[in-house]
Amino acid sequence: MKERKTMIELQGIIKRFYIGKPNELEILHGIDLQVREGEFLSIVGSSGSGKTTIMNIIGILDRPTEGGYVLDGVDVARAKDKELSRIRNHKIGFVFQTYNLISRTSALRNVELPMLYAGVPKGERTRRAKELLRMVDMEERLNHNPDELSGGQKQRVAIARAMANDPAIILADEPTGALDSVTGRRIMDIFQRLNQEKKKTIILITHSQELAEETQRIVTLKDGKIIGERRGSGC
């Protein structure tokens, strides 16, 4: 079996806020991390450990203060904003704890939105959005607005939206944090399916050791540093 290529490589990542001010704050202290294509990885840590900051850097929602980041062969530090925006829209799908769906807009339209920004024709957008909602068992709710859906249903719509442009990478920030255990189990099953059947590279940000155990590799973050790595049961 050939070795899978490195999809994400962080080297010496430092992130500071309020730079040069008396209250300058360093959140990440030299993060080194590699993620291979098709890997299901979890980053675990308590509140304030730097999990969301590292996710924002991996997802190109923020830039590191120091250090190098190569995403699928692209040097993020040297890339122009337009190229980074294209990479973010086409290569990365985001799933958030708070869903981030647009209110007063149907599930179908929410899923179509990333494709609209990507210039996909309307007929193709609608066809693919329906297919993705069917994949997460939400085809019967495609015309419902977010305020007509339960938390678990909203998250399933959010996962379908994250898949809209068929990204290679899915970043999930505490995706089950607002859900009960049964609903959270269903969401994790969807992620497992996307990883195993669709070969998506998935990074799960969580404070839950129980959820992390289901992934292939567990990276533990504490006070802005990686303090350990081990294999999970999802190997």
Q: pLDDT tens, position by position, for the chain (235 residues)?
A: 457 899 999 999 999 999 888 889 999 999 999 999 999 999 999 988 999 999 999 999 999 999 999 999 999 989 999 999 989 988 999 999 899 999 999 999 999 999 998 899 999 999 999 999 999 999 999 999 999 999 999 999 999 999 999 999 999 999 998 888 888 889 999 999 999 999 999 999 998 888 999 999 999 999 999 999 999 987 6
Distance CA 66, CA 64 (A): 5
Three-state secondary structure call for residue 70: strand
- Amino acid, single-letter form, for residue 132: L
58-111: per-residue pLDDT in tens?
999 999 999 999 999 999 989 999 999 989 988 999 999 899 999 999 999 999
CB-based contact 31:65 (threshold 8 Å): no
Cα separation of 158 and 100, whole Å? 8
Question: What residues contact residue 47 under an 8 Å CB cut-off, 6+ apart?
Answer: 207
**DSSP state, 141?**
G
Q: Where are the alpha helices (DSSP H) in the chain?
A: 51-58, 81-91, 107-117, 122-135, 151-162, 181-197, 209-212
Share of the chain above pLDDT 90, in %: 81
Question: Which tokens hold the place of 150?
Answer: 């339960």
What is the spatial distance between Cα 213 and Cα 232, in angstroms, rounded to a whole number? 5
pLDDT of residue 235: 62
